[in-house]
Every structure is written in structure tokens, then in C-alpha cells.
Chain A
């Protein structure tokens, strides 16, 4: 059943996310299998000495032992990366914490949204930066934080800022930060494995020490194919996952504010003005993040194109698209956000 409205749109994307997340361990298994084939082809691991299919079956039979080993290593990696990620994000952004006293209007907007969902209000932070962007961070309750750029606060109207906050709050409610950290750790493990494979091939390329496997070439080729496909898919799936979460957050913002138009006009204003420099792990948390190029880049983009996000809001949220922002300052522009309006 396809999406017919906001809630079914959210459900469809959540199902997609689960399917995408489940593919990561499968990719990992595929890559491990590929590595075993390569090692067998290089003569590091003993082959059967028989036909290619026998060698491949033998490599498959090892998976029973290597998969638990790989999962164990992945778990330790997870533990370290998981607890490190928050400190890293905090260090990199240089965002300033905002209190109720200094920015009462902004703080109240966020607090009202949080109260309406029965959440503890996340920490509100502001980066003094002219670009228009926002992001949510934090892996646990009490750690959650929503950051806006100064440019965003200045150029968006009150309703639009509320929509952006609701978008980020939806990321918090859905624990998207955690999901994306998990995805990026998986992608990290897979890319390290892939790199190991290529290095191993490079060093052994010249003179093979024990070239006793007669299926060496096909084994290596099949193994490399597994590793390459796994590596590329890991990146593509991580980004697909990220894009799916963006659609859910947009829909969630409408759900919270009941105002699809504000989310659409906020996206229109952010369009083309969102560049904030940061590492990949941070980029994918942003409100918007577009690759510099076109074409195939779409497959590796952490965010869907603004137009597609707006189309989804119009189709499922009943919003109206005012068209590209002409760039004139908003009637509520200024250093703070007036409550009236």
C-alpha cells in the first residue's frame, strides 16, 4: 500500500529505513566472503585444490566462524565510536548554548514544541554563521541538542523557525542521530575492510609467495567484485537511509506544527544558502546539505533535493509551494524573533 497521507508517508519511510539498516550486516557478510575468496586466491588460506565451485563452497563454510568474529570486532568498534561521536560533534561545531534569558522567544518556541510531545526540552544552541542551516545532535535523553545558525534565525519568520525546530525535534524523537551514527559506523567498518583488501592486493601483486591455488585469478576477481559492490552499496545505503529520515522529519514537522506552508517556505529560504562546513558525520545531520555536483551525486547525497522534499510536503501534507524565494528579507527579520505574527 502506497502513501496516501502524512502518516502513511511516515510509515512507508520508516519501513524503508528498517530494510536499509538490515542490509548493513548482509553487506558485511558479503565483504567478509569476498575477503576470504581473495585470501584463498592469494594462497594465504588453503584451497581445496579442486574446481572453483568447491573452493567457493569451502570459503562459504568458513563464514560460520568468521561472522561471529567479525560481529565481535564490530561490537567493540561500535562501543568506542558510539561514545566518541558526541564529544566529536560538540568539539567541531563551536556552537554556543542559548538560555531562556538571552533568547526568550526562540527558547519558548522550542519549549512549547517539546512540551506538546512530552519531551524534556533539548539544549538550544546557536552558531554565529551567516548560512541558513540547523541540526540535531545527541544520542541519549539529556544529551539532545538542537542547533540553529544565526543566519537562519535572522532570515526566517517565526512560523518558519518553528517548522525548522519541529523538523529537528522529529529527528530527536525518532532517534535519527543514533540511527545515522550506527549507519556511519557500519559504513566505516566496511570501508576499512575494503581498504585492507586493496592494500593486500597491491602488496601481493608483484610476486606471490605460495601460488598453489589453480583458481587464483577467478577467486581474486570474484572476491574483489564482492568487496567493491559491498563498499559502494554501503555508502549508497547509508545516504539513502539519511534521505529517508529527512522525509520523515519534514512530515513530522508538519505533524507538530500543523503548518505545512511554514516548512515549505523555510525550505525555500534555506535552498542554496545552507552550506556549513563540517565533517561527513555532521553534514548528514543538517537541515539541508547538497552535494556540489549533479548527476550521479544524487545517489551519494545525504539529503533529498529541496524540490523533492517540497513535492512530498505538498502531496502528503497538503501544503502550498510559493516557489523559489526571491531573497527579500522577511517581515520579521532582525536580531530576534518577534512573538506576534
Chain B
């Protein structure tokens, strides 16, 4: 009798640990997904601004077809991306292309004086700030999920419930950062 009671208690405690751990993982997983949705909102807003920006720049910087095309293509790729990894890559490309576009625009005083362009770049830089904050929050949510997933005793059963692998971070890729740095503002006379 006593042994059965002890076995029962042990099973209950184990069940309690597993249920608690599982619920924790679900909550953290959900939280990370939700904070990615916050990034998504900012990304969408940025994508929506770009056609307008390209049109404005086209009117002044006629010799920058290559840069403009790169932006348009990057935007199309970003809009088409579905998985987190694809999105991260496409958005990093877009960030790089936008950086080059703004670097190039330094060479066109008329463009810089255009109120529409000024407004667009102000809006874009505001979005970039919000994006940075949302990305930081997403990364810390992902880091927390990964840490709890790997902790004992959660690590023993995380795989059983489909939490077998770490979530990917939203990295600003090293390659894209190099690309951004490789395109200094070109001043043309």
C-alpha cells in the first residue's frame, strides 16, 4: 500500500514538472512569435514607404539606376519572404540597399532639399529605430526561450513536444554589414 502511495506521489510530481515545463515553453514560444509579429509590422511599414521613395529619388538621381533597382528588388524579395530565416535575410539586404541609396543621395542637393524626400527619410529613420527596438526585444525573447528549453529538466522532454531545436535569432548578418560598409557615399560632380 505504502509503496503504491509513494509511486503515485512520484508520478504526480513528475507529471507536475512536465506540465509546468511544457506550459512554460509554450508561453515563451508564443511570446517570441508575438514579438516577431511586432517586427513584421515595422517591416511592412518600411516596405510600403519604399515605392514612394524610389519614385522621388528617380526624379533627381537619374544616374543611379543600379542602386534604385537594387532597392526595388530587395523590397520585392522582402515582401515575398515567408519563413523567419528568409525574412531576416531579405530585410538585411533591403537595409543594405537602402543604406546605399541614402549614401548616394548625398550627391544630389536638390533631392536632399525635396520636402517629400526629407519626410520619407525621417519616417524611415523612425521606423529603423522602432525596428531596432523590436528586434532587440525579439532576440531577448528568443534567447530566453532557448535558455529555458536547454535547462534541466525541461531539456529532457522538450523534444517530445516539438521544442527540439533552438529558435533562430534576428541577426543583422555580418555579410550585409560588410556590404553596407563597402559602399561609401559616392560624390559625383
| Interface stretch (choices A1-9, A25-33, A44-52) | A1-9
Residues of chain B contacted by A6 (CB below 8 angstroms): 140-141, 144
Quick check: which of B46-54, B73-81, B82-90, B131-139 contacts chain A, the rest being far away? B131-139
Q: How far is the CA of A254 from the CA of B35 in the complex (A)?
A: 12
CB distance from B128 to the nearest CB of A (A): 14
CB B9 to nearest CB in A, in angstroms, measures 21
The reply on A120 being an interface residue by CB < 8 A is no
Q: Is the CB of B147 within 8 A of A4?
A: yes
Beta-carbon contacts of B11-50 to A below 8 Å, as 1s and 0s? 0000000000000100110010001001000000000000
How many B residues have CB within 8 A of the partner chain? 19
Q: Does A93 sit within 8 A of B, measured CB to CB?
A: no
- Number of A-B contacts defined by CB within 8 Å: 39
In the complex, which residue of chain A has the Cβ closest to the Cβ of B146? A4
Query: Is the CB–CB distance between B134 and A4 below 8 Å?
Result: no
Note all chain B residues with C-beta closer than 8 A to A257. Answer: 133
Bound form: Cα–Cα A254–B24 in Å: 20
Q: Is the CB of B133 within 8 A of A1?
A: no
A262 CB to closest chain B CB (Å) equals 9
**Separation in Å of the B14 CB from the closest CB of chain A?**
16
Provide the residues of chain B in CB contact with A43, threshold 8 Å. Answer: none
Residues of B within 8 Å of A318, CB to CB, are 136, 139-140
Contact with B along A219-259 (1 / 0, CB 8 A): 00000000000000000000000000000000000100111
A258 contacts B136, C-beta separation under 8 Å: yes
Contact A7 B27 (CB under 8 A): yes
Chain A's closest residue to B139 (CB) is A318
A254 to B133, CA, bound (A): 10
Q: Let me know if B143 is at the binding interface, CB within 8 A.
A: yes
| CA gap between A140 and B38 in the complex, in Å | 30
Take A4-B148, A4-B151, A5-B147 as given contacts and tell me if A258 and B38 are in contact as well, using a CB distance cutoff of 8 Å.
yes
A259 near B133 (CB under 8 angstroms)?
Answer: yes
Which residue in B133, B134, B144, B154 is a CB contact (below 8 Å) of A5?
B144
Q: Closest Cβ of chain A: how far from B146's Cβ, in Å?
A: 9
Instruction: Report the Cα distance A7→B133, complex, angstroms.
Output: 17
The answer to whether B28 and A7 touch across the interface, beta carbons within 8 angstroms, is yes
Considering the chains assembled together, what is the distance between the CA atoms of A8 and B27 in angstroms?
10
Q: Taking A258-B133, A258-B134, A258-B136 as contacts, is the C-beta distance between A5 and B143 under 8 angstroms?
A: yes
Please give the residue numbers on chain A whose beta carbons come within 8 Å of chain B beta carbons, in ascending order.
Answer: 1, 4-8, 11, 254, 257-260, 317-318
Q: Which B residues have a C-beta under 8 Å from some C-beta of A?
A: 24, 27-28, 31, 35, 38, 133-134, 136-137, 139-141, 143-144, 147-148, 151, 154
The 14 sampled A-B contact pairs (Cβ below 8 Å) are A4-B144, A4-B147, A5-B143, A5-B144, A5-B147, A6-B140, A6-B144, A7-B31, A7-B144, A258-B35, A258-B38, A258-B134, A317-B140, A318-B136
In the A-B complex, the 10 residue pairs with the smallest Cβ-Cβ separation, listed nearest first, are: A5-B144, A4-B147, A258-B137, A258-B133, A318-B140, A259-B133, A4-B144, A258-B134, A1-B151, A5-B140
